[in-house]
Amino acid sequence: MTAEQVKILVADDEEAVRNLLQRILGEAGYEVTTAADGQDALYKVSLGEAEVVLLD
């Protein structure tokens, strides 16, 4: 599995953290989406937008 095939959801209430992780992971070739809260994260997971979830 290559980085391009992995969908990562970054869930964090701090915008700066979301943006930093999105940039770093995106530059590494991952497909990254973000969520600002748990409700949005659960919704995006239910849509199949993530194979890996990073949260705090």
Would you kindly state where each structural domain of the chain is located, as residue ranges? Answer: 3-49
Q: Is the dihedral of CA 6, 7, 10, 11 positive or negative?
A: negative
Q: What is the pLDDT of residue 2?
A: 64
Percentage of the chain beyond pLDDT 90 is: 88
Beta partners for residue 55, in sequence order: 11
Q: How remote is the C-alpha of 24 from its chain's centroid?
A: 11
Reported CATH class of domain 3-49: alpha beta
Confidence of residue 40 (pLDDT cuts 50, 70, 90): very high
